[in-house]
Structure 1
Amino acid sequence: MTDRPTVLFVCVHNSGRSQMAAGFLSALSEGAVDVRSAGSMPGNEINPVAVEAMAEVGIDIASGQPKVLTDQAVQDSDVVITMGCGDACPFYPGKRYEDWELDDPAGQELEKVRPIRDEIKKRVEELLASIREPG
C-alpha cells in the first residue's frame, strides 16, 4: 500500500473527460498522487480531439487506453470523481466522492473541447489543493 492518495476519474467511455482529468492530475501532482481512470462502458480509443486539446497545453494522453470500471478500482481509491457515469459507479463508504458535471467532448470540434479541457484543469487544480491540505 502506498502513502500517496489515489484518485480515480470515471466517465462513461473513459476516452475524453476522465482521460483529460487524469492527464492533468498526473502532470500537476508530479507523482504525489496515484492517478487512475476508467469508464462504465469504455470506448475503443482515446478521443483524438481530447488528445489534440491536451497536446496544446503540453500534456500527452495519446498513449492512454480506455479501461473498464471495476469494483476493485473504486475500493483501491481514496477519491472517486465521476463525470456522468450515473448509477454505474459503485459506492463504498469511507471514500470521497465528487460528481463533476461537464460537457462530453465526444463528437465535438476542438473549439468546443478547449473550454471543457480548461474547466477540467481548474477542477483538478482545486482537487489537488484539497488533497494537499493537511489533515
Structure 2
Amino acid sequence: MFGRKVKLRILFISLALVTLVLTVFLILKSLEENVVYFQSPSEIKSLTELTSKKIRVGGMVKKNSININSEKVSFIITDFKNEINVTYSGVLPNLFEEEKGVVAEGYLKDRSFFSATKILAKHDENYMPPEVKEALKEN
C-alpha cells in the first residue's frame, strides 16, 4: 500500500518520537531526585509520617538561640507559631544571624529536630526568600 520512501519516513518519525519521549522521561526522572521542597516548622509539626528524604526548612532564626561549639552550630528556626531545633556542622554564611531569614537543607530526625547539611542565607539583610514570606504571612 505505502511505498518504500513513505515506510522509511514513518519509521524515522516513530523512532524520533520514541527517542524524544524517552529523553524527556529520563530528564524529568533525574530532576525529581534533586527537587527539594521548602517547609515551615508548622508544616513539619503537622506531618503524618516522617520521611528520610532531604528537605528544606525555612523561617527566622530565633533570638538568643544560636549556640556555636567548636564542631557544631545549633539554633532554632521559627515561623512564630512553631519551632524546630537545627544542628549544622560547617561554615555558616556571613549573613547568618539571629532574627534573620534562613533556609536549612538536610534531614529530619523527628518533628522537633533537624540535621542540616547546608545553610542557605545568600541574601542581603533586607531580603527574605519568598517561601519564608508566605509562610510567615500564613501564620
Tell me the TM-score normalized by structure 2: 0.29
- Bigger RCO (CA 8 Å, 6+ sep): 1
Q: Max radius of gyration: which structure? A: 2
